[in-house]
Structure 1
Amino acid sequence: MMRPLFGFLLGSLLLVAAPPLEAQAPGSAQVPGTARDSVSAVLGDFHNAASHADFERYFSHFAREAVFIGTDATERWTVAEFRAYAKRRFDAGDGWTYVPRVRHVYLSADGNTAWFDEILDNDHYGTTRSTGVLVREDGAWRIAQYHLTIPIPNDLADKVVAMIREQAKEGAKGGGR
């Protein structure tokens, strides 16, 4: 009687402790959950570096050919352009703080590309969203594209669109803060 019970308990324990089969990347020894955790850690450190105005650490997370897309329609920056913008702010100790609330990370089948979307909180802008793509570059995850947006509730969309159109008519230019 003890033998079948022991076998059942041991088998149950092994089933619970084993990673799910779909977690194993085809042709890879790395479990995607681990890669997702690595991508999430990069994004977390990216936000932390910005919050502390740590210029070198912040920009170490970008791929060589990365693009940063900001909240204004005019804000599409190469890494070099974005570095020039951020340098004077970070040198003055003026970073920006976005606190992740929810993050989703996805991986390509070959495990070399990841994409994400996250909801962030910011003292000035409130709820924001970022999306982006990371690639494996020189053995590390690097941000190839980062896009920051301010989600607009559908009930306010018509008013916001009207305000944007009015600003465009007046010839006002946005961006380049």
Structure 2
Amino acid sequence: MKTLFLSLAVLALVSFDSLRYNELDEKQEINKTLDAWHKAAAEANFNAYFGTLTDDAIYIGTDPTENWDMNAFKAFAKPYFDRGRAWNFTALERHIYFDKSGKLAWFDELLNTQMKICRGSGVLVKIGKEWKIKHYVLSMTVPNDNTNAVVKIKEGIEDVVIKNLQAKK
């Protein structure tokens, strides 16, 4: 009986350990996917960039009007890619999390960009052996001490956006 219990305990630990290592492997794959996605934009590789997204992906940009499905995002981005350089984002920090199935992941990242530090966050799904981005949100960061100054810059423009959005309710 002790031998059976000990064998089951060792098997459980080995199984748990292999799950943990699989998660580490999946994090590594997601990091590769996201880094390659950002690199594709920097190199203006339209097909590689959009090939990393699911067909029904949503991209939310920094402007309040930027909430795009794939077709709208491609239309917005194409002129940037056509000129030979889209945007250049490099991850400074990234956190990745998984659901219990291991086929859905979400992340947040701090990025070094032409806009200085931005925050990206999103959702990825595993399709076959590949991780694809299903949802991405890009936000500019604002140091807390500068919030009032930034609000003053934004208020005239965004008051109109707020009014229009409230009218649509």
- 1:167 aligned partner: 157
- The alpha carbon displacement at 1:158 in A equals 2.1
- The alpha carbon displacement at 1:19 in A equals 7.9
Select 2:77's aligned residue among 86, 90, 104.
86
- 2:8 aligned partner: none
Give the structure with the higher percent helix.
Answer: 2
Of structures 1 and 2, the larger Rg is shown by 1
Relative to structure 1, is the Cα distance of residues 139 and 21 closer, same or farther in structure 2, using a 3 angstrom cutoff?
Answer: closer
- Tell me: higher relative CO, structure 1 or 2? Use CA pairs within 8 A at least 6 residues apart: 1
After the TM superposition, which residues 1-177 of structure 1 pair with which residues of structure 2 at under 5 Å, given as runs?
21=16, 24=19, 31-122=22-113, 124-169=114-159
Kindly tell me the number of residue pairs found equivalent between the two proteins. Answer: 149
Q: Name the % identity.
A: 32
After TM superposition, the score normalised by the length of structure 1 is: 0.77
Deviates more, 1:131-140 or 1:109-118: 131-140
- The alpha carbon displacement at 1:24 in A equals 1.4
Cα distance in 1, alignment partners of residues 51 and 149 from structure 2 = 39
Deviates more, 1:84-93 or 1:39-48: 84-93
In the alignment, structure 1 segments of 5+ residues that lack a partner are 1-17, 172-177
Relative to structure 1, is the Cα distance of residues 160 and 22 closer, same or farther in structure 2, using a 3 angstrom cutoff?
Answer: farther
In the alignment, structure 2 segments of 5+ residues that lack a partner are 1-12, 162-169
| Contact persistence 1:23–1:33 (CA under 8 A) | no
The structure 1 segments of at least 4 consecutive aligned residues displaced by more than 6 Å after TM superposition are none
- The alpha carbon displacement at 1:48 in A equals 0.6
Cα distance in 1, alignment partners of residues 14 and 149 from structure 2 = 49
AA aligned opposite 1:89: Y
Relative to structure 1, is the Cα distance of residues 150 and 169 closer, same or farther in structure 2, using a 3 angstrom cutoff?
Answer: closer
Secondary structure at 1:40 match in 2 = helix
- 1:13 aligned partner: none
Cα distance in 2, alignment partners of residues 168 and 85 from structure 1 = 21
After TM superposition, the score normalised by the length of structure 2 is: 0.80
Deviates more, 1:152-161 or 1:142-151: 152-161
| Contact persistence 1:63–1:137 (CA under 8 A) | no
